Chain A
Amino acid sequence: MSEPERPAAPNASDAAGRPKIGVDEWVASAEERHERSRGLGGLVSRGWEGSPAEAKLIVFVALASTLPFWMNEGELFSYGLYTLLYALLALGLNIVVGFAGLLDLGYVAFYGFGAYGYALFSSNHYGLHWQAEASIPLIVLGTAAVGLILGLASRRLLGDYLAIVTLFFAQAFVAFVNNSNPKVAGEGLTGGPNGIPGVDPLNFFGFKLHSTKQYYFFLLIVFSLAAVGLYFLNNSRTGRAWRALREDPLAAEAMSIPVNRLKILAFMFGAGTAGLTGTIFAAIQTGVVAGNFDVALLITIYAIVILGGLGSIAGVLFGAIVINVSTQFLAPSNDHPELKRWLFYGAILLIAAKIRPWSRTAAVFVGTAAFGFVVHAIASGISSDWTNGTVVDAGSAASAIRNWVIVPSGHTGFQTWAYIVLVAAIVVTSQLKGWWRMAALIPTLYWVAVVWENVLVQQSAVTALILFGVLLIALMQARPQGLLGTARVEIV
């Protein structure tokens, strides 16, 4: 019997391409060791990373310019104009939260300042009808000054403390505007709960913007300019110092970076951008009320910035498109109710398609479909009133849904129970592992559809919020840095 072959002595193995002992070179070769993403996704992501920022902007502007030619006025207003408005607003928040890492929950108040400022200077309220070229710069500077004051007051605060102070500021703004309404020049300053109606359209040197199309192109130009400006700002020394401040405030201070001044500067830039967006918003709405600047808007804007990726300008735009378009799809007044359904089932399919390997994905889909028909057959066998409810706004997919999802009629309380069962099913599924999870996923997915058809599709305003929440949770699990954000790399 021969001895088993011994591995060669370590110092004899240099020729075999093994690393030498005591010589670490792999950090130097980090670039070559970078994993290349493959397939179509890899091609897209490499193309995205490889193309310069100017090219991205040009492609976006070119695509965005075609919108007015194939959308009607209403669609352009809700999909085009509002997406750009949100994107511009989120750009400003991105300076404060994304670049400088300051958790500013008072951001919408600056938006309100801008909107109310424009409404005071250019409306029938005081009879001042200032031209936009005079009032907008004045209001932007004024809002930045308010940002300076808030920044000064909270310059020593970070994290949770800053969040509390700024949230108070936002709430104080809404409360003041709603309730205080002090008399100035014989007229209530803010109009109280009625707001200020009759705001002028934007009027530059006598040229009035009056159609949605004109506002859309105006906003596209403003957004592009703001994005370019912020791109350069982020790549300036100040931008880098903001990043240093965001990463490690104490180290930044020990490096003598003027932390307080930079924080205030970030607040001012953010506030100015919000003020600018506010003026345009007031002109588009032709009126302002305090309810426009509440916490719901703040959450939407934060969702945009987080979804897109903190600190990424392209991400902000992407987030604004996703959030605004899905909000508009789910809006109760949407003319195309079937879009809600496409959005919902599309999102479910996308999430389920993350299952690997593919055979398992297919098994789950087929299983869910079969499970549905079986449950439907059993339910209708028990009693026909379990399946003869009305399917809401189904359009072309109505018959498919009617034969697959159980929609009972006359069973009061079913909606509530369905909802509770869904939550329980999701919790159970998330706790299981391996094949058990796959098995539990099939009834859970089916039940998601049941709850959607019975509860959510009828209450789309609530659904929109739930969908945002689910979207953000799923995203934070899959990509904590947001869609276009940069992942943190630390090999320590």
Chain B
Amino acid sequence: MKQFDYVRPATVAEAVAAAAQPGATYLAAGTNLLDLMKGNISRPDRLVDVTHLDGLDQIETLADGSMRIGALVSNADLAHDANFAKSYPAVAEALLSGASAQLRNAASVGGNLLQRTRCAYFYDTASRCNKREAGSGCDARDGENRTHAVLGWSENCIATHPSDFCVPLVALDAIVEIEGRNGRREIALDELHRLPGNAPERDSVLEPGDLVVAVRLPPAARGFAAHARYLKVRERTSYAFAIVSAAAALRIENGKIAEARLALGGVAAKPWRPRAAEDVLRGVAPTTDAFQEAARRALTEAKPSGDNAYKIELARRIVVRALTLAAAGTPARIPALPASPLASTSGAIIHA
């Protein structure tokens, strides 16, 4: 690990000023950053430790019914907050399907959003990687790329965003509050992560010094609590990143879908929100035919970036299953194996 200067700011304003300097980066729990630094993938000159800042660790319900989550709330504390889990069950399930209990206890909400890809070529400093070193090339393109992107990729980068948490958040129109050099602003989480294009070294639209201070779920996000699931296919039962995942949330009125939300994980450099698929579900009955049509629409633009054509069909099937399980109703308790598509749920058609 390269040597670095350590700075512990007393206020958010001090933090932003310190982190706006070239070579500086924020340190929260460090569960991704320390890994990257130990592997020499990230080589910051200065760490700006935000973990001692006041006021960033609250979970608050606002007057309009929004919920505001401070960026330093841990993944575990958020998932186990009873009010949060009841209001946004798919988000709690996604959180509990990610990483391990130890990592969830440490990892922060803000850090989860900003974690880097787990592409093996990004991690291997002997490989060419445009995300790690702009302009160096992409060894994943002709390498082991079974798990790489099938949507939104470019010739320069086929990496995926690894977060589970972000997938249902994007489906629920989450908003990110950012403190920067020009003060406070907010953007839709869907606008935070960038597709690679010609600049895969830039994961997000954040500028130097920008600090994620909170994530907010708008009032309408509560309307899906009765019919919401997150499903995640992974290569081992637990403690693995998604090959493909899907968040599905429905508002069902009088036997018809009043509103549908859908997002996919593990398929692109950002959580993927297929709005055309949501549109076909509006006003129709929650049937397998309707879900299959939505799944078809969701993957219309998909194309393999290597040996991963299977992920397109897998994604379609996970969309159908997530919608089917969401329609059957949010389980009273998060299953023992959160987000597992292999767990049985009584009364649900799981082999649709």
A in complex with B = no
